[in-house]
Amino acid sequence: MVPHEDPIAEDDLPPLDAVRARIARAAERAGRKAAAVELIAISKTQPVDAITPLIAAGHLSFGENRVQEAQGKWPALKAATPGLRLHHVGQLQSNKAEDAVRLFDVIHGVDRPSLVAALTAAMARVGRRPDCFIQVNIGDEDQKGGCAIADLPALLAAARGGDLPVIGLMAVPPADTEAAPYFALLAKLARDNGLSGLSIGMSGDYETAVMLGATHVRVGTALFGARAG
Instruction: State pLDDT tens for residues 173-204.
Output: 999 899 999 999 999 999 999 999 999 999 99
Q: Identify the pLDDT of residue 56.
A: 97
Q: How far, CA to CA in Å, does 177 sit from each of 76, 145, 172?
A: 39, 18, 11
Q: Identify the pLDDT of residue 142.
A: 86
Q: Identify the pLDDT of residue 183.
A: 98
Average pLDDT of the residues in 143-152: 94
What spatial distance separates the first Cα and last Cα of the chain, rounded to whole Å?
53
Give the DSSP H/E element, type plus range, for residue 98.
helix 97-103
Q: Identify the pLDDT of residue 226.
A: 80
Query: Which of the listed CATH numbers 3.20.20.10, 3.40.50.620, 3.40.640.10, 3.90.1150.10 matches domain 11-197+214-218?
Result: 3.20.20.10
Q: Identify the pLDDT of residue 227.
A: 67
The ranges assigned to domains in the chain are 11-197+214-218
Q: Is the pLDDT of residue 118 over 80?
A: yes
Could you read off the pLDDT of 151-177 as tens digits, one per residue?
A: 999 999 999 999 999 999 999 999 989
